[in-house]
Structure 1
Amino acid sequence: MKFTVVGGVYKENCAWPAHDTIQGSAGRAALCLSQLDKAVTVSLHAKIAQSDESDLKELFAFNKNCSLNIEHSDCTTRFEYFHPLSEPKVSKPKQTGNLPVFSPVSGTVDVGVVFGMIEANPVVSCGTAIYDPQNTYKPLLFSEMGCSAKRLAYVTNKNELKLFYENKVGDAESIEVMAKWLYEFENAEVVVVKCGDQGAFVYSSDFQEWVLPYQTRSVFPIGSGDSFVAAFAYYWVEKGLSAVVAAQKASVAAAYYVSHKTMSTADGIEIFEKELSFIHRKPRSSHVYLAGPFFTLAELWMINEAKFHIESFGMKVFSPYHDIGIGTADQVVEKDIFRSTHVDKAIASDLPTTKMFE
């Protein structure tokens, strides 16, 4: 079977831990698909600067089942991360007005894996399409881009789904309600909503189920969603599995990717799955005691970053710097001990506690 992947290929640089590559959503999905099964054929269509084409070819040098179809642009969009959870700085081609149309394939492709792009508006006609909006701030519906498909699967995240719903309907509701709306509004065959540590919700005419996430020893999150999309497309289309089972297999594949920063074969994913355990969804959040120095700009930055991202995972944070403040030992130590002890006692009879120390 042939997969046609259309979307962004971008430079990615992370300061710590070091990560420097040219992949982006479409590039990574094409690479993952070609690694999952050497028997499938993958065709990647993207826009990058001519000067970066050799680096992209080098990335795919050992993946002979993937062909690169590149349209040259003035520059390649670049994502700069300080750390994997930080908001990236994005450098992209200067544009005015609407995004230019990117229609790299004439006619209808059998299976299209389509990603929203920063620098262009991809337009593709597909027999079967798997679509990921890939836009945190202003995602476009598949139909809004001018794309078409006889069979359509959405793989989106909860933030994009919320923006779609608020733009078309009104105040956000539950994931289940909004997924049902998107399914009906876009005449999709299935909608998969990625919800981080909550797992993924799958909505179709036959299934409305949550797929639990897996626990891994390490997580490198850059590209995790792209690997999920690639694996879901493979298991849903190539293997003919139900959307729920395909999403579960994609969760395993994404767990492998965030652990190894690369994809395995489908056989390797099966073996890896036996080593994993589910993260069961908890109705209430855990508490974290965040301790560390906060006497220099670098230390303050670290504490602020840690608090922000831990809270973004749905946890409650007690931070001496934020909750007690800066002062002499006489002014803050007794308050710190009282507050932390009070929090610990409350948690001991209610919720699990995680303490993080510098």
Structure 2
Amino acid sequence: MITIVGGVYRERCMRPAWDDIYGSAGRAATAIARFGGKAELQAYVDSTSEVVLDARAAAEGFQFNAVALKEGVTFEYIHGLSTPDIRRGTQRNSMLQINAEKVLRFGMIDGTAVIEAKYAVFDPQNADGPESFKANGSKAEHLALVLNRHEAHQLVSDSRDLSPQELATALASQEGAEVVVIKMGPLGALVYDKGSISHVPAYRTKRVWKIGSGDTFAAHFALGWMDSGLSAHEAAANASIATAFYCENQGFADPALLASFNPEPLQPSERYRNGYSPMVYLAGPFFTLAELWMVGQARRDLLSMGLNVFSPYHDVGVGSAEDVVEKDLEGVRDCDVLFAIGDGLDSGTIYEIGYARALNKTVVFYAENESKQDVKMMEGSDCRIIDDYVSAIYQTVWEAVEL
């Protein structure tokens, strides 16, 4: 039995449309139970969330122990890569006390969980100020940390110049952890296990449902490492594939579904592994406020993924043909991949796409509202045509890092 403790929150997303009650702990309980593991969820919930989770626990086969909360927390997303608007309840600094043999603990928005366990997996889930596992008095005989590289740097002081291997080693020593798993985006995950270092790949998927992907990874890692007797490397490898299934299907795998799922491992190029940041040309109209917002959003998301971005609006500006055209075309020539915002079929954007394809540049064409007839030329010239924004951003990253 794995005891799961953390947040249960309402999640709402505009594109693609989503409105459900999961949160990190609620999602992990479903992921583990769906895969055949025994799980017990302990969380603060309001009355609405309790009804939903009671029904889900009965359907999925996990135990649910609710602690009453007057008002819950809601995460509001524009899309899966956006920074959510967090609507908090009135209760503050709640504390759960957990004593169990195996515990999966997540960081929480308005409180913490003090645990005492034989085995524990901890995912801090906080980009701004992740909490040390032992800061609140939590104890575990065998501890594994699962976190991303940014959270790892936040936890270890003066760590900016450390390699991922050095960062994992420092974190293990600081936190008293046997295992540290650092998720590193396209580079997959680094696994530190009692001094030994290994890596597991990330995977390409047809689509990317980002919300909850980290929860799914932590859940499957915990199930493999604490419950199934797998090594840390094996558990992380299984978790990476299960997370790819979740991202592609916006749902949870059972053993049979995962056995038949064969995603393509991402294979970053040597130059990317050696620190090269690929250049993406951001093509799209910027003549209305909505268009400017979309260009700015895409630029921020691509930059946050570690890519360099050439944006005609930001890097050249608005001007006459003599002022801007040659500079824009030079940007296309110098880029590794072109990301095109295609809705509206802006003439300048279409020209940039054609120029890029004539130079044999990879083009990712994002459009939600154009007909198959209208994108026929892009399809026929081997552009990657995608109608989901987050999936298009990830496809751009994957194409860029493999060059």
Shift of the 95–344 alpha-carbon distance from structure 1 to 2, 3 Å rule, reads closer
CA distance in 2, matches of 1:170, 1:309: 24
The answer to whether the aligner puts 1:151 opposite 2:154 as a matched pair is no
Deviation at 1:343, TM superposition (A): 4.5
CA distance in 1, matches of 2:187, 2:336: 25
Deviation at 1:255, TM superposition (A): 0.4
State the match for 2:63 in structure 1: 67
Q: Which AA in structure 1 matches 2:96? A: F
State the match for 1:54 in structure 2: 51
Cα contact 1:193–1:201 (8 A) shared by 2: yes
Residue 88 of structure 1, aligned match among 59, 84, 89: 84
CA distance in 2, matches of 1:338, 1:197: 28
- Where 1:144 maps in the other structure, the secondary structure is helix
The answer to whether the aligner puts 1:100 opposite 2:108 as a matched pair is no
Residue 362 of structure 2, aligned match among 336, 342, 354: 354
CA distance in 2, matches of 1:101, 1:342: 53
Deviation at 1:206, TM superposition (A): 5.4
CA distance in 2, matches of 1:115, 1:341: 45
State the match for 1:26 in structure 2: 25
TM-score (norm 1): 0.89
Shift of the 56–247 alpha-carbon distance from structure 1 to 2, 3 Å rule, reads same
Deviation at 1:170, TM superposition (A): 5.5
- Where 1:62 maps in the other structure, the secondary structure is helix
Shift of the 200–80 alpha-carbon distance from structure 1 to 2, 3 Å rule, reads same
Deviation at 1:301, TM superposition (A): 0.6
Cα contact 1:294–1:321 (8 A) shared by 2: yes
CA distance in 1, matches of 2:3, 2:267: 35
State the match for 1:307 in structure 2: 299
Residue 282 of structure 2, aligned match among 279, 282, 290: 290
Deviation at 1:340, TM superposition (A): 2.6
Cα contact 1:207–1:244 (8 A) shared by 2: no
Q: Deviations over 1:76-122 (max 9, x none)?
A: 111110011001011113467xx33222x4xx311101111111111
Q: Which AA in structure 2 matches 1:79? A: F
Report the number of matched residues. 340
TM-score (norm 2): 0.80
Q: Which AA in structure 2 matches 1:7? A: G
Percent sequence identity over aligned pairs = 39
CA distance in 2, matches of 1:196, 1:216: 14
List gaps (5 residues or longer) in structure 2: 338-355, 367-403
List gaps (5 residues or longer) in structure 1: none
Q: Deviations over 1:154-199 (max 9, x none)?
A: 1111111100112xx5545222111101111222111111112221
Q: Which AA in structure 1 matches 2:268? A: R
CA distance in 2, matches of 1:314, 1:171: 15
Q: Deviations over 1:255-302 (max 9, x none)?
A: 001111111112321221xx2221123322333221111111110010
Residue 239 of structure 2, aligned match among 250, 271, 275: 250
Instruction: Identify the range of structure 1 (197-206 vs 335-344) with the bigger mean alpha-carbon deviation.
Output: 335-344
Q: Deviations over 1:222-278 (max 9, x none)?
A: 100100011011111222111111101100000001111111112321221xx2221
- Where 1:124 maps in the other structure, the secondary structure is strand
Cα contact 2:159–2:167 (8 A) shared by 1: no
